[in-house]
Structure 1
Amino acid sequence: MNTKIILASTSIYRKALLEKLQLPFKCISPKTNETPLKDESAQQLVLRLAQLKAQAGVELFNQTSCQQALIPAVVIGSDQVAVINGQIIGKPLSKTNAVKQLQQASGQSITFYTGLSVIHNVTQQAYSIVEPFTVHFKELTTAEIERYVDLEQPLYCAGSFKSEGLGIALFERLEGDDPNTLIGLPLIRLIELLKRHDIKVL
């Protein structure tokens, strides 16, 4: 019986990234508490949340029916945070906050940490990693920042930009192993973890 692939996320960006691998998969939406723990680092946070999402996805998949629990599947969980000057920054949710975030980032570097966890629903074998990716920003004027925010409306993106879109105009350079990490799913590492579960892309 073929092992199914389940993405424990409703993110349209992660879904689009996973589609690049041309493997059949389904999305499910497990509910997890994403509140950081006291004194938890960014790396610890994303690793824990990725594991929680994957495990919650396993439980949700297994509960869909009695027979369903017998169907082998690997569940992918992922989470991401952005860090600037040692501080975790979230989604701006408003134009004012987006402008402030980009003003703070101007001439600076933002590191994104993406947690990735892949769990087998039957064996409970789990593999997890944290993948960093750093964005180095140009020196930006307030006019440039406001024009960018008006054009792309990155209000629900941590760091207030969309690297897959016009956000590329904000950067001096990118530093990391896999540009997909910046969007939310490190495909190179994911391919490695899927292979450990005997799922090959090629």
Structure 2
Amino acid sequence: MAAQKHNTKHTNQVRIIGGTHRGRKLVFRSADGLRPTPDMVREKLFNWLGQDLTGKTVLDLFAGSGALGLESASRYAAGVVLVESNRQTVQSLKENIRVLGLTQTQAVCADAFAYLSQTSQRFDVVFLDPPFAWQDWESLWPLLQRCLNERAMVYVEAGRLPEFPQWLSPFREGKAGMSRYELRQYGAEVE
């Protein structure tokens, strides 16, 4: 059996593509199912969201490498919460937050459902990029809805997109490799 080739130059690191920390590399530990959103997809996503997230509260619910949440913090988000269930991954997130001096950002070690059930915080932007095979969307939607501000933007990246609730209106969508992604808006008819 032939050994798999890996591009070691880019293994376990991702680059911030905009804002105050543009060009900085984030290093993270390997973990099952951890696959950061590619630069090209993040660039498109932040074009859709607007480059500047000043004043916005952001939730990166299945944070993994933290690429989406830390990118938001670099783009002036007022508050960013990175939720991740893997303890070692959370330690990497905390280290990247410390190194970058992102005082408005916190990493929380918790299961997505447990976090949504206990938080009283509301968010303007939510990133949902769960492990590739994860499909428990039906249980997630009601917990998420109570945590959204009016007109919040919700980004979903998955191998197969879920059936969306009626309260999330389509905004933009795309595909990269085996992943599909969609940006939706809460509580507003999108023109």
TM over 0.5: no
TM-score, length of structure 2 as denominator length:
0.29
1 or 2 for the larger relative contact order (CA 8 Å, sep ≥6)? 1
Structure ranking higher in helix proportion: 1
TM-score (norm 1): 0.28
State which structure, 1 or 2, has the greater radius of gyration over its C-alpha atoms: 1
